[in-house]
Chains A and B, each alone.
Chain A
Amino acid sequence: MSTQTSTDAGTAAPKVVLQIDNLESYYGPIMAIRGVSLKVHEGQIVTVLGANGAGKTTLLKTVSGVMDPEKGTVNMMGADIQTMEADAIVRRGIVHVPEGREIFPLMTVAENIAMGAFTRNDKGAIAADEEMVYSYFPILKERRSQRAGTLSGGQQQMLAIGRGLMAQPKLMLLDEPSLGLSPLLTQEIFEIIVRLNKEQKVTMMLVEQNAKVALDAADYGYVMELGRIVMNDRAEVLAASKDIQEFYLGVSQDENQRGQRRWKQRKTWR
């Protein structure tokens, strides 16, 4: 039962870190996720694209245990984790970097980073990891005794990612890292995300509205609409798809006679 038909073919597929099957999640009576199945392979960056209300954040929350699904399974390296509490899931190696960073604003940068290692007690390794985080985000080192709430948006995002790294994640869930950031900062953050993936071997599941940067960074992508996956493929295939170009990348397909176009093509997801 492969859901990633186009990557699995041929090459020996890397280990599956996360496998979600038939997931359904509700907010009260409202069904936010209507049967989602997907896979994240070790070492990959997988992105989930979608507009507001597509169910992307709900999906991440369900994976990290903040929400419980109504139906379906979340399997991490062979173990079902959908009924586990969020703290147990962190201990298993899934770290959620939430939308809007949600750092601790009254604590200093250093304290925030230390909080990321809350579940660990290997002092020596923690110190080494702190240095690793600072090497990726030198600005945080400069400001380590500053209160986190006084950082700029981009720095806060860096801090949130750095804090997440401190838990030594096997899988990092990133919820809209580009939210509220300038294009330049967005690019910078994504460069670091790719480096972390390559150098620290952190598998990433990345939810984004900014399809361009997400597809550039990712290996594989899923497109969600109204709680369903409508399309999935390798990132470069998605980037070339007509629907993605029109609806997520803002590329106008063909110039019309008037030289401008306001209306949208109907989506087909083929």
Chain B
Amino acid sequence: MADTLPPQQTVNGLTINADLSQGPFYIDGQDTTPKLFRLRCQTLGDRTAMREKTFGIWRSFSWNDYFTHAKHLGLGLVSMGLERGEVVSILSEDRKEWMYTDMGVQCVGGICSGVYTTDSAAQLQYLVNDSQSRFLIVENDEQLDKFLQVRDEMPGLVKVIVLDRDGLHGFSDPQIMFIEDLYEKGRAYDAEHPGAFDAAIDATQPEDTAILVYTSGTTGKPKGAMTSHGNLMYSIAAGLRDSPVYPTDDQLCFLPLCHILERVFSVNAPIAAGSTINFAESPETIFDNLQEVSPQTFVAVPRLWEKIYSQVAIRIGDATATQKWAYGQALKAGMARAECEAEGRPVPLSTQLAYRFWDMALLHNLRRMIGMDRLRRGGSGAAPISPDLLRWYHAIGVPVLEGYGMTESSGVISINNADDNKIGTVGPALPGAQIRIADDGEVQYKAGNVFQGYWNNPEKTAETFTEDGWLRTGDVGTIDNEGFLKITGRLKDIIITAGGKNVTPAEIENKLKFSPYISDVVVIGDKRKFLTCLVMIDQENVEKFAQDRRVPFSNYASLCAAKEVQDLIRETIEEVNKDFARVEQIKDFRLIDVLLTADDDELTPTMKLKRSFVETKHAALINQMY
């Protein structure tokens, strides 16, 4: 096989295609994730692949553990009749078994599809039926209950495997088994058919579908994006070329693995790089887990970066005058240095010295406090992030780089990298990839990680591609003279007011979101006389605001109702209005006074408001304004 390999290059310890515009894509001579996974497990053996915290103690699991469990899980499913090209669904929070399932299923030629733990029983039913899954893996009794509620409506499902036995001792059902029993079946199958697992891995091809990622589907039913081994290999090879991850790196996994961003970064990247994954205990403990793990490389959504910043800002607000002064000085030195670097100018000696001093005196401690003292590169994606926030991170010595991608592009389209970073853009296209801007402003994309199409949905697939085969991202953007992409909004979200004016709501929304008091906002005005918006406030910062100004409030609703809070949001909106023409100005607003959680329809798993759901669910609130 070695002699048929296209020309290779070795970058940051990985051997990848020299020309990334042409597939098949190889990493260390392997063209599919299962093959690369096997190679890594063989060479890394007893080194730590992942850590999970149980009862307060971080426990390590080696690459050997990873391989053995994936093998027994995969073969166990095969022994019960899993065929190549069939989908296995998993409904679980992030944990090691999620990855065992992902790899186990892919190694035996299956397709792994994740279901969000926040999905309802009805959604689970739709996803299982749509993907024609015959096997479903559920985390615990809570998730099992969802299956039990709709089991009669899922006739194709053969077996449900439960990971966690707590609360289910003494429970038995012919259609349900526990993971240990599945491992046992796999072990027996392996003993009877030695070499079957290796043969299955060898049989995987770059053009085989590896994973199915359901897009949230703000309109209509969710669609399963088919992502091939080749797609993922390209995303990883092209992504790691300029944004390296090393075998000594620790990573923290906290977004749902069903989401393409976390999937690629936490499953596929470590398999290529040999780095260690640490699972955050829960969404509530991310900040503690960050401190404990102190990752070298960390990818998160803007909301999390904002939260970390808010925590620091709140602490500084309560500091003594001397401390505030020192923080101001340190930040000034950091900003000066970051500015020189951003413009590609050499950093003057005085700036360097000032930064060194403040780094030692203050910034280093600050980084340790937020668990970023070892961080080499932070990434932000899945939503636009405020340029000011990025500048702040650069100033304190935490390089956070914005990237852009979507499910249909296997997670990545463009990334800013450390040597080539332009704040306010989402970076240049991946090496080997092409981006063009269509006449209507839409960003269109062509590269090795453009997905294969939607599962059983040729019409929707056709809609996603142009006639000449480019991926339609649905986003509107521009490319500057250096090839950096800037995203301005969503094509289908464009509002046409009653006066016939076209408005890109994302432009206004993003400006508003950069306020620390506004967590998310939806601009409304399609076929209406003027623009209005619904605002979701940032609980922590607005509470702090109310506390500092002694605005009494009891619960979240009364916080939203407080006159001072309403005024605060009004002022923020008026400030942003100044940047826009009259017709694009927000005339009125309402606050969403219920604290939304990921369980609510209006929020995506990455905690963004879903326009269409918000518009229907809060129609009464909207109508008050017109």
Contact = CB atoms under 8 A, between A and B. Distances in A.
A257 B171 CA distance: 12
B554 A21 contact: no
A222 B551 CA distance: 18
A121 interface: no
A37 B145 contact: no
B174 interface: no
Nearest to B166: A262
Given A5-B558, A262-B166, A263-B140, A257 B148 contact: yes
Interface in A160-189: none
B22 interface: no
B149 A38 contact: no
A260 to B, nearest CB: 8
Contacts of A229: 554-555
Interface string B544-571: 0011001111111010001000000000
B594 interface: yes
A135 interface: no
Contact of A269 (B166, B552, B562, B595): B595
A54 to B, nearest CB: 14
B547 A258 contact: no
A5 B142 CA distance: 36
A1 B144 CA distance: 46
Interface in A63-84: 71-73
A16 interface: no
B141 interface: yes
A18 to B, nearest CB: 13
A93 interface: no
B550 A21 contact: yes
A191 to B, nearest CB: 29
A128 interface: no
A37 B550 CA distance: 10
A3 B552 CA distance: 8
Contact of B141 (A228, A231, A262): A262
A21 B145 contact: no
Interface in A226-270: 228-232, 256-258, 260-263, 266, 268-270
Most chain-A Cβ atoms within 10 A of its Cβ — which of B151, B556, B599? B556
Contact of A256 (B145, B554, B558, B599): B145
Contacts of B140: 263
Contact of A37 (B167, B554, B556, B595): B554
Interface residues of A, number: 31
Contacts of B556: 230, 269
A22 B551 contact: yes
Contacts of A263: 140-142, 145, 167
A141 to B, nearest CB: 42
Nearest to A223: B555
Contacts of A257: 145, 148-149, 151
Contacts of B597: 266, 268
A38 B554 CA distance: 6
A50 B198 CA distance: 56
B599 A266 contact: yes
B509 interface: no
Given A222-B554, A232-B554, A35 B166 contact: no
A208 interface: no
B543 interface: yes
Nearest to B148: A257
A24 interface: yes
Interface in A1-29: 1, 3, 5, 21-22, 24
Given A3-B552, A263-B142, A35 B546 contact: yes
A270 B594 contact: yes
Contacts of A3: 552-554, 558
Contacts of A270: 594
Contacts of B553: 3, 35, 37
B80 to A, nearest CB: 23
Contacts of B547: 22, 24, 35, 71-72
A189 B482 CA distance: 77
B490 to A, nearest CB: 29
B166 A232 contact: no
A231 to B, nearest CB: 6
Interface in B164-222: 166-167, 171
A34 interface: yes
B166 A258 contact: no
Nearest to A71: B547
A34 B543 contact: yes
A262 B555 CA distance: 28
A216 B139 CA distance: 39
Interface string B143-165: 01100110100000000000000
Interface in B514-565: 543, 546-547, 550-556, 558, 562
Contacts of B558: 3, 5
Interface string B120-154: 00000000000000000000111011001101000
Given A21-B552, A71-B547, A257-B149, 9 more contacts: A1-B551, A24-B547, A37-B553, A37-B554, A73-B550, A232-B554, A256-B148, A257-B148, A260-B167
28 contacts: A1-B551, A1-B552, A3-B554, A3-B558, A21-B550, A21-B552, A22-B547, A22-B552, A35-B546, A37-B554, A228-B543, A229-B554, A230-B556, A256-B145, A256-B148, A256-B149, A258-B141, A258-B148, A262-B141, A262-B166, A262-B167, A263-B145, A263-B167, A266-B599, A268-B594, A268-B595, A269-B555, A270-B594
Interface of B: 140-142, 144-145, 148-149, 151, 166-167, 171, 543, 546-547, 550-556, 558, 562, 594-595, 597, 599
Interface of A: 1, 3, 5, 21-22, 24, 34-38, 71-73, 222, 228-232, 256-258, 260-263, 266, 268-270
